[in-house]
């Protein structure tokens, strides 16, 4: 099988690639990634020498580059590449529209021209916007994004669905809740909080900290993506969630407990503008249609994640100082192969 992955040097994409190649070592897998600030090729060190693996540095907004990198009739395209952080989208949305909207259209066009098989588009539960309790966001519900990030991901979904309807391409959309685990860039809540706590630095709590997110371990998400890629129904959307809703304060309290740090590290700061109060995806469809189950209980996953960040202080330091690419150049001499 030939698999073309975009954004595979990021947090979720790199887990997907490591897991895919571990399970299908004879597959050919091309990782097409622009290597933005969020990329980290250290995440892929374990697959560097895998016979079927190759990395191409390129921008999903550049049709010629994507065309040149994608082989004819590859079996599966998995489109992770995106600008992914809500706070950055509030500071400036332009790159989100470019990468997430234009980039998705380019991927759809090239995949069609190259006669790719299945197109798996990675979206987010944030396209549903604020979901007041006790409601859960279902696949067919209206999309009501709040942030520029979520709006760009919503636009991308519409383009995928338009291509399904207009050109009858075999595409599937997945919407995942908040992922956590190793190798996550320390701007998102969990890695930021863990690394700050480890350094005895204040952890910013936006507003009252009672916003609810549904946490899923990145390995469980990637197992779900594998399942959807192989068994999902063309033209469908699947929700992937943790069935693990927690307030931010609850999660931060658990981290303080694991690390034995004082509550005084939690520092209330001005709330994020337009902050969604609650996300909640209904993932019954994944469970009932595809028989999906999760493997990682939250407490275990959180402990292991904390341990990983403790053991990878140098990784965190490099991530924070933006040294990934320099590091990679020193280690491997080049950024692509």
Catalytic center residues: 125-126, 149
Tell me the C-alpha distance between 3 and 200, whole Å: 43
| Positions that interact with ligand NAD (CB under 6 A) | 6-7, 9-13, 33-36, 38-39, 59-61, 80-84, 99, 103, 122, 124, 153, 176, 178-179, 185
Angle at CA of residue 306, ends 303 and 311, nearest 5°? 125
Residue (310 or 335) nearer to ligand NAD, CB: 335
Stretch that binds ligand TYD, among 43-51, 59-67, 130-138, 204-212 (CB under 6 A): 204-212
The number of helix segments (H) and strand segments (E) in the chain equals 13, 12
Tell me the C-alpha distance between 162 and 107, whole Å: 13
Among 31, 123, 248, 305, binds ligand TYD (CB under 6 A): 248
DSSP conformation class of 175: E
Q: Which residues fall within 8 angstroms of residue 72, CB to CB, at 6 or more apart? A: 114, 115
Cis peptide before 192 (omega within 30 of 0): no
Count how many Cα atoms sit within 13 Å of the Cα of residue 317 in the half-sphere of its side chain.
Answer: 8
Angle at CA of residue 191, ends 61 and 210, nearest 5°? 100
Among 188, 246, 285, 294, binds ligand TYD (CB under 6 A): 188
Name the phi and psi angles at 307, rounded to 5: -60, -40
Query: Is 216 a binder of ligand TYD (CB under 6 A)?
Result: no
DSSP conformation class of 117: S
Among 189, 256, 265, 302, binds ligand TYD (CB under 6 A): 189
From the list ligand NAD, ligand TYD, none, which binds 185 (C-beta under 5 to 8 Å, kind-based)? Answer: ligand NAD
Residue (11 or 137) nearer to ligand NAD, CB: 11
Stretch that binds ligand TYD, among 156-164, 200-208, 220-228, 325-333 (CB under 6 A): 200-208
Stretch that binds ligand TYD, among 33-41, 155-163, 201-209, 281-289 (CB under 6 A): 201-209
Q: Contact residues for ligand TYD (CB under 6 A)?
A: 86, 178, 188-189, 192, 204-206, 211, 213, 248, 272
């Amino acid at each position: 099988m030939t698999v073309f992955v975009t954004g595979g040097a990021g947090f979720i994409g790199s887990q997907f690639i490591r897991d895919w190649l571990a399970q299908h070592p004879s597959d050919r897998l091309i990782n097409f990634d622009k290597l933005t600030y969020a990329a980290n090729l250290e995440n892929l060190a374990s697959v560097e020498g895998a016979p079927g693996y190759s990395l191409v540095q390129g921008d999903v907004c550049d049709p010629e580059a994507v065309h040149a990198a994608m082989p004819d009739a590859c079996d599966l395209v998995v489109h992770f590449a995106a600008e992914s952080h809500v706070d950055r989208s509030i500071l400036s949305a332009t790159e989100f529209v470019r990468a997430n909207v234009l980039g998705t259209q380019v991927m759809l066009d090239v995949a069609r021209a190259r006669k790719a098989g299945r197109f798996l588009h990675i979206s987010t539960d944030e396209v549903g916007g604020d979901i007041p309790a006790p409601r859960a966001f279902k696949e067919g519900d209206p999309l009501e994004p709040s942030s520029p990030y979520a709006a760009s991901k919503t636009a991308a979904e519409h383009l995928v669905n338009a291509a399904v309807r207009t050109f009858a391409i075999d595409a599937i959309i997945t919407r995942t809740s908040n992922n956590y685990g190793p190798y996550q860039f320390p701007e998102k809540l969990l890695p930021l909080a863990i690394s700050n706590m480890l350094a005895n630095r204040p952890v910013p709590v936006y507003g009252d900290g009672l916003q609810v997110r549904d946490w899923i371990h990145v390995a469980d998400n990637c197992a779900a993506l594998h399942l959807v890629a192989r068994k999902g129904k063309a033209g469908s959307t699947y929700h992937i969630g943790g069935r693990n809703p927690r307030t931010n304060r609850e999660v931060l309290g658990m981290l303080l407990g694991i690390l034995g740090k004082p509550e005084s590290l939690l520092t209330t700061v001005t709330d994020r503008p337009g902050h969604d109060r609650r996300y909640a995806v209904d993932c019954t469809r994944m469970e009932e249609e595809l028989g999906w189950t999760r493997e990682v209980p939250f407490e275990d996953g959180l402990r292991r994640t904390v341990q990983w960040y403790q053991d990878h202080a140098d990784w965190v330091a490099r991530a924070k100082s933006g040294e990934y690419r320099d590091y990679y150049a020193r280690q491997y001499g080049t950024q692509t192969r």
